[in-house]
Structure 1
Amino acid sequence: MPITSRDREILRLAVPAFGALVAEPLFLLADYAIVGHGLGTAAVGALGVAGAVLATLVNLCVFLAYGTTASVSRQTGAGNHDQAMRSGVNGIWLALAIGVAVIAVVWPLAPTLVELFGANPAQSEQAVTYLRISLLGAPGMLVVLAGTGVLRGLQDTVTPLVVAVGSFALNAALNAWFVLGLHWGIAGSAWGTVLAQTLGAAVYLVAVARGARRLGTPLTPDPRGVRQAGTAGFALLIRTVCLRIVLLAATVIATRMGEAELAAYAIATQVWTLLAFALDAIAIAGQAITGRSLGAGDVAATRAATKRMVQWGIWSGVVLALLVIAARPVLPGLFDADPHVTELLLAVLWPVALFQPVCGVVFVLDGVLIGAGDQRYLAWAGVWTTLAYLPAALAASGLGVVALWCALGVWMLARLVTLTLRAAGPAWLVTGA
C-alpha cells in the first residue's frame, strides 16, 4: 500500500493517538500484573469487577471526548477558531460537573454495583474498596476526556500522547510502590490511579487555558453552551450505554462461571482493550479529519479519507491478530496465572485474535460517523447490535468462556453490517459549521 499525502495526514494524527490510547491499557495491564503478583487471583478478579464498573462510568461519559472532538474540529474546519475553543471550555466545565455528580451518586451504591456481578465475598470486599477510592479520581478522569477532545479537535494529538504516557507511567510506578512496597493491598492500586489521573487532568486544564488566552476566549462557563454540550452528547450516551450493556453482560456471565473463568476473562479483556485502543487510533484520526473536512464543505475529501482509513483498519487488524497469536504462549506468565487460568486464557486468545480485522473496520467507521456528527444513527445501530448480541451471550453462558468470546464476535459482526451500510450512503455527509 503506497504512502500518499492523505496517508501522511492520517498518520500525523493517528500515530500520536495510537501512543496515547495504547498507554492506558498497557499500564492497566501493568496494574493487573502488580496486583496478580502481590495479592493473588482473588484480587485480580476483584480488580476486574471494579474495573468494569469504572469503565462503564467513564465510557458513559466518552461523549465528552468524542462529541467535543467532532464539534471543535468542525468549527476549526469552518474557520471559527474562537467558537471551537468555546465548545472545548464548555465541555470541560460539563466534565467537572458530571465528575462531582458521579462521586455523590456511585459512592453509596458501590456495594450494590459490585454485588450485581455475583463475585464471592473475598472479591466483593476488595472490589468495593478499589471502586470507592477510585471514584475520587472521577472529576480528573472526565476532565482528561474533555481536554483530549479539545486538542484532537484542534488537530493536536501529540499533547494527549505526552500527557497519557506521563500519567500512566506515574500510575504504574505508584501502584508498584503502594502495593508491593508499602503493602497497602488493593487500596494502594486505587490510590496510585487517582493521583495519576488528577495530575493528568491538571495538565489538560493548563493547556486549554493557554489556548483560550491566546484567542481571548473566556474561561468562565457559558450555561447555554454547557447545556448544548450535554444535549449533543445524549445520542452518543445511548450508543455507549449499548456498548457497556454488552461488556457488562459478558463480565456478569464470566463471573458466574467461576473464579478461574473470571480471571481469564479479565486478563483477556485487558488484552482486547489494548488492541481496541490501538485500532481506535485510526478512528481518532477519522473523527478529526471528517469533522474538519465536512466543516470546510469538502465531501469528496471526506469520502476519499474514509476509504483510505478503512484500508488502514483492515491491515492493522491483520497485524494485531498475528501479534496476539505470536504472543499467546507467554501472556499467561506475565500475570502469574495458575494452570487452570492459563489453560482458559490460551483458548480465549484465539477468538480475540481472529476478530481483529473486523474490529479494524468497525472502529474506523465508528470514528468517521462520530466525526460527522451522525450520533443519532449510531444510537439506533447500538440498540440493534445489542439485541443481536444478547441471545448469543445467553447461549454461551453454559458453554464456557471461549463461547462467550465468540458471542462478542457476533456483536462485532453485527456492528460491521450496520456501520458499512451507513457509510455507503450519503445521509451522514452534512457540511458546514
Structure 2
Amino acid sequence: MGAAEHRRDLVSLAYPVYLELLAGVTAGIINMVWVARLGGGAVAAVAVATNVENLLLGVILVAGSGTTVLVARARGAEDPAAMRSAVRGGWVLWALVTPLVAIGGYLCREPLARLVLGGNGGDSLLLATDYFSIALPGITVFFATNVVDGILKGAGDTRTPMKLAILANGLILGLDPLFILGLDLGVRGAAIATVLSRTVALICGFVALHRNGVLRQAAQAAQAGQAAQAAPRRAGSLSADARRTAATGLPMSADFVARMAGALALVAVVARIGVSEVAAYGIATKAMYVATMAFYALRQAASIRTAHLLGAGRDERRAIGRQVLLLAGSLGLMALLTLLAAGPWIMRAFGSEGEVAEAGALYLRCLGPYLVLLACFIALGGVFEGGGDSPALARITVCGMALQLALAYALSGLGLPGICLAMALAMALQCAAIARMYRRTERPPATDYDNSRLKIPVTEPDGPSPDRRPA
C-alpha cells in the first residue's frame, strides 16, 4: 500500500475528528459567554465545572477508545462476531461506570464543588453545586455519546460524530439564552441546556448506529450464527466482552488522565513565579488547545487505520507511522511559526492585557519546540494504540509527566521560559522512548491474520461466525 494512500486516509479520518473536538471546546465557550451576564461568581462556577467534566472524560475513554480499536480490528478481519462482541463490551462498561459517576457525583456535588473551588468559594460554591446537580446526572448522556462515537469511528465513520457534536453545539447556542435568561434559571439553565442538547444529539447517534451498513450487516451475521447458543453463555460472554474492552481502553484512558493531571499540577509550579504568570499560563494553555486537538485527531485516525489493517492481516505500522510523523511534524511546525508571529495578538484575543499579556506572549513564543515534539509523540501514539502497545505508551507518558514536573520546579527560576524548557526536555525524552518502540515494529509482512501476534485479544466468546470471510 502506497504512502499517498495512507496519508490520504489519515487526513480523511482526522479532519472530522478535529472539528468534533473543536465543537466540544466551543460548547464550554458558549456557556461561558451567556453565563458571564450573571457575574464573576457564575463564570467561576461554570469554568470549574467544565474542567471537572474534561477530567471525567478520561473515565469513559476506557469504553470509547477501547471500543474504537476493537471494532476497527474486527472490521478489518471481516469478523461479525468479534465486532458484535466489541460493541457489546463498550456498552457493558458504560453501564458499569456511569451509575458510579452520575449517582456518586450527584450525592457528593457540594463536597466536589468545595474541593475544586476551595473552602472560601462564596457564591461560586453555591452556583457550582447547582450546576453539578444537573450536569453530573447528565453525564449519563455525555458518556453514552462517547461510546456511540467510539463505535462509529471504529466502523470507519468519523464524520457522523463530527455532525453530532455540531448539532449539540447548535442547540446549546439556541437553548442557553432561553434557559439562562429567558426562564431565569441561571447556571442551572446552562446545565439543562447542555444536557438537553446532548440528549437530542445522542438520539440522532442511535439512529446513525442503526443505519450504519457495516454495523448492521455485522449484527445480522453474528445473530444468525449465534442465536442457538446465546442464552446459556450470555452472562459469561458479557463479562469477557467488558474485560476485553477495558484491557484495550484502560491504557489510553490512563495516558489522557496523566497528561491532564500533569497540566493541572504544573499550575502549582507556575504559581511560584507569580500571579500574572499563572493567569498567562491559563490563557495560553486554552489557546494552545487549537493546535493540540489537531494532534489528538491525527492520533485517533492513526489508531483506527492501524487497527483496521492489522485486523485484515496487514502489518503496515511502520508505513503508517512515517506518514503520521510527516503530518504531525508539519502541524507542529505550523503551530510554532504561528505562535512566534502572533503570540501577542493571541493573548489580546483572549482578553488579556498588561503584564498578563506580555507574560503569555513570551510563553507562547517559547512553547514552539515543545509543540513540535508533542505533535510527533501524540500522533505516533495512535499507531501503538491501534497495534496493542498502549500499555507501554501509558507508562512513557506517566514517567514523562513526572519528569516534566521535576524539571519545571528546578527551572522555574528562569520564569515561564524555564517552564517551556522543562516541558521540551521531558517531551524530548518521551519522543526518544517512543522512537525506540517504533524501530521495533518492523516485522516480515504477514499474509494471514494471526491474533497471537497482537497484544489485544480478539477472541470470539460466542463461537465463530459461519459468515466470517478470510482477510
Q: What is the TM-score when the length of structure 2 is the normalising length? A: 0.79
Aligned-pair distance for 1:395?
Answer: 4.2
Aligned-pair distance for 1:206?
Answer: 2.5
Aligned to 1:314: 329
Report Cα offsets for 1:201-236 as digits up to 9, x if no partner: 222223224445443256999522234323443333
Aligned-pair distance for 1:307?
Answer: 0.5
The answer to whether the aligner puts 1:295 opposite 2:296 as a matched pair is no
Aligned-pair distance for 1:408?
Answer: 4.2
Distance change (3 Å), C-alpha of 1:233 and 1:13:
closer
Q: Distance in 1 between matches of 2:363 and 2:265?
A: 17
* Deviates further, 9-18 or 408-417: 408-417
* Deviates further, 56-65 or 244-253: 244-253
What is the aligned counterpart of 1:276 among 283, 292, 309?
A: 292
Q: Does the aligned pair in 2 maintain the 1:92–1:147 contact within 8 Å?
A: no
Q: Distance in 2 between matches of 1:105 and 1:200?
A: 25
Q: Distance in 2 between matches of 1:202 and 1:254?
A: 43
Aligned-pair distance for 1:315?
Answer: 0.2
Aligned to 2:104: 105
Aligned-pair distance for 1:165?
Answer: 1.5
Q: Does the aligned pair in 2 maintain the 1:20–1:160 contact within 8 Å?
A: yes
The answer to whether the aligner puts 1:230 opposite 2:246 as a matched pair is yes
Q: Could you tell me which amino acid in structure 2 is paired with residue 273 of structure 1?
A: Y
Distance change (3 Å), C-alpha of 1:238 and 1:16:
closer
Q: Which residues of structure 2 form unaligned runs of 5+? A: 224-229, 445-452, 459-471
Q: Could you tell me which amino acid in structure 2 is paired with residue 191 of structure 1?
A: I
* Deviates further, 316-325 or 338-347: 338-347
Aligned to 1:345: 360
Q: Distance in 2 between matches of 1:335 and 1:151?
A: 35
Q: Does the aligned pair in 1 maintain the 2:337–2:368 contact within 8 Å?
A: yes
Distance change (3 Å), C-alpha of 1:360 and 1:102:
same
Aligned to 1:371: 386
Aligned to 1:70: 69
Q: What is the TM-score when the length of structure 1 is the normalising length? A: 0.85
Larger Rg: 2
Aligned-pair distance for 1:423?
Answer: 1.4
Residue 121 of structure 1 aligns to a residue whose secondary structure is coil
Q: Which residues of structure 1 form unaligned runs of 5+? A: none
Q: Distance in 2 between matches of 1:400 and 1:183?
A: 45
Aligned-pair distance for 1:184?
Answer: 4.1
Q: Distance in 1 between matches of 2:340 and 2:33?
A: 20
Aligned to 1:413: 428
Report Cα offsets for 1:120-145 as digits up to 9, x if no partner: 52444444443443212211111222
Report Cα offsets for 1:384-421 as digits up to 9, x if no partner: 21321231344467876665555444443343232222
Q: Could you tell me which amino acid in structure 1 is paired with residue 314 of structure 2?
A: D
Residue 294 of structure 1 aligns to a residue whose secondary structure is helix
Q: Does the aligned pair in 2 maintain the 1:46–1:124 contact within 8 Å?
A: yes
Q: Does the aligned pair in 1 maintain the 2:266–2:405 contact within 8 Å?
A: no
Residue 156 of structure 1 aligns to a residue whose secondary structure is coil
Aligned to 1:154: 155
Residue 62 of structure 1 aligns to a residue whose secondary structure is helix
* Deviates further, 280-289 or 385-394: 385-394
Aligned-pair distance for 1:350?
Answer: 2.6
Aligned-pair distance for 1:306?
Answer: 1.2
Residue 365 of structure 1 aligns to a residue whose secondary structure is helix
TM-align CA RMSD: 3.4
- After TM superposition, list the pairs within 5 Å mapping 1:6-405 onto structure 2: 6-35=6-35, 37-39=36-38, 43-117=42-116, 119=118, 120-122=120-122, 123-179=124-180, 184-211=185-212, 212-214=215-217, 215-216=219-220, 223-224=238-239, 225-251=241-267, 263-299=279-315, 301-337=316-352, 339=354, 341-395=356-410, 404=419
Identity %: 26
Distance change (3 Å), C-alpha of 1:320 and 1:172:
farther
Q: Does the aligned pair in 2 maintain the 1:99–1:142 contact within 8 Å?
A: yes
